[in-house]
Amino acid sequence: MKCVRLNHTAIAALAAPPSVPGAFCAKLVLVHAAATRRASTFSATSPCRKSEDDSRFIDRPPRRSIKPSNAPRTVPRMLSVDVAKFVRNRDGHLTTTPENARFFREHPTVDHDHGTMIRLDATDAVRRLTQAYGVRLAWSPRHVIHPHRLRYLDPHGHPLAPKLRSDCARKSREKALWAFATSTAGVSAVVWQLTKRELLRSVFRSLASRGYDEHGRKADRTELHGTLWLTVWEPQHARRLSADNFGEVVADTLDKHYATRPEQRNTASLAEAPHSEEQRRVTKHSNRAAGSTANNTEQWKPRERVNQRGGRVRASTAETDMQPTWQPRKRK
């Protein structure tokens, strides 16, 4: 049965008594035909409208096409249970000792947060490589500490924290390119270690064929300054494939997209100059605060007493010989 929309005039005409003149009946037929045309036209112009029994939302706005973002993708943080107590997984905030905090201020290129590293997928070749070998590659222009060594930054102190600071300071001076590898649990340690060594060695061999030394530097002062992170998901599968092919693709991607020239480093140093000046001001302020704290902790000395005539009263022998300590007042 087709539903028809009628206006108030048609409804009143239908409710009229049968003793109605013929002219009014003809007018009623015309109104009924116009209402029928209006209903059929409305249904033709709105094909998406459903019946009244359908409770779903009817008039939806058209969906916009979501374009893929060009922002580089970062890798998730890999924190153990102990490290998660002083490193926030949300933003990588570190709570540590003053010595460690001072070390990071003095060495701004060393970073503890591996969650800021971006996926190394600049080319289609390296993306196909990571899928074929079952690995993940990440890169950072800073020197990132290995995730397994973050436990030495415990805010309660760790006996190996001084060694970690000295090793990172020495490596940041000597080596421009850092590299480390991790793997998933449940894999044989022997297979994993052999696979990691073969893949990383193939990368450094391919870099050497392009003129880089073992520290990631070239004779023309071009260098790969940063950290390469290799995560192996399937060591046994990756070990069956060619390690030389892996090294060629990764080295070519690093050389073409992540190598820095001397003029680029000069521009970057000028851009980081305000940040270094701010760090110096913060360090100076902290040193000044530490000095004021040390002055406030000096030994207390009694204030010289003044008599009514304005002259100073000589301190007694007991006050000069003995240490000034507080004593309760004697009751009389």
Q: Where are the domains of the chain?
A: 8-41, 83-260
What does the alpha-carbon distance between residue 91 and residue 97 come to, in Å, rounded to a whole number? 19
Percentage of the chain modeled with pLDDT above 70: 57
- Answer whether 47's CB lies under 8 Å from 14's CB: no
Q: Is the pLDDT of residue 328 over 90?
A: no
DSSP 228-260: EEEEES-HHHHHHS-HHHHHHHHHHHHHHHT-B
The per-residue pLDDT for 72 is 77
Element (H, E) at 163: helix 161-174
Phi-psi region of 124 (alpha: psi -120 to 50; beta: other; left: phi over 0): alpha
Q: How does the average pLDDT of the chain come out, rounded?
A: 74
The per-residue pLDDT for 133 is 94
The per-residue pLDDT for 69 is 52
What does the alpha-carbon distance between residue 256 and residue 276 come to, in Å, rounded to a whole number? 29
- Per-residue pLDDT tens over the stretch 132-185: 999 999 999 999 999 999 999 999 999 999 999 999 999 999 999 999 999 876
Q: Is the pLDDT of residue 292 over 80?
A: no
- Per-residue pLDDT tens over the stretch 98-115: 999 999 999 999 999 999
Smallest CA-to-CA distance from 208 within 236, 169, 248 is with 248
Residues 245-262, mean pLDDT to the nearest whole number: 92
Give the angle subtended at the CA of 111 by the CAs of 249 and 140, to the nearest 5°.
20
Instruction: State the pLDDT confidence band at 187, using cuts at 50, 70 and 90.
Output: confident
Number of H helices, E strands in the chain: 11, 6
- The upper half-sphere exposure of residue 327, i.e. CA atoms within 13 Å in the direction of its Cβ, equals 9
The per-residue pLDDT for 157 is 94
- Answer whether 159's CB lies under 8 Å from 294's CB: no
DSSP SS3 for 88: coil
The per-residue pLDDT for 85 is 94
Burial of 331 (C-beta count, 10 Å sphere; 0-12/13-18/19+): exposed
DSSP 19-45: ---HHHHHHHHHHHHHHHHHHHHHHHH
The per-residue pLDDT for 188 is 80
Instruction: State the pLDDT confidence band at 190, using cuts at 50, 70 and 90.
Output: confident
What does the alpha-carbon distance between residue 210 and residue 228 come to, in Å, rounded to a whole number? 17
- Per-residue pLDDT tens over the stretch 34-48: 544 444 444 444 444
Which of 8-22, 210-224, 277-291, 292-306 is the most confident on average?
Answer: 210-224
Residues 66-74, mean pLDDT to the nearest whole number: 65
The per-residue pLDDT for 302 is 53
The per-residue pLDDT for 300 is 53
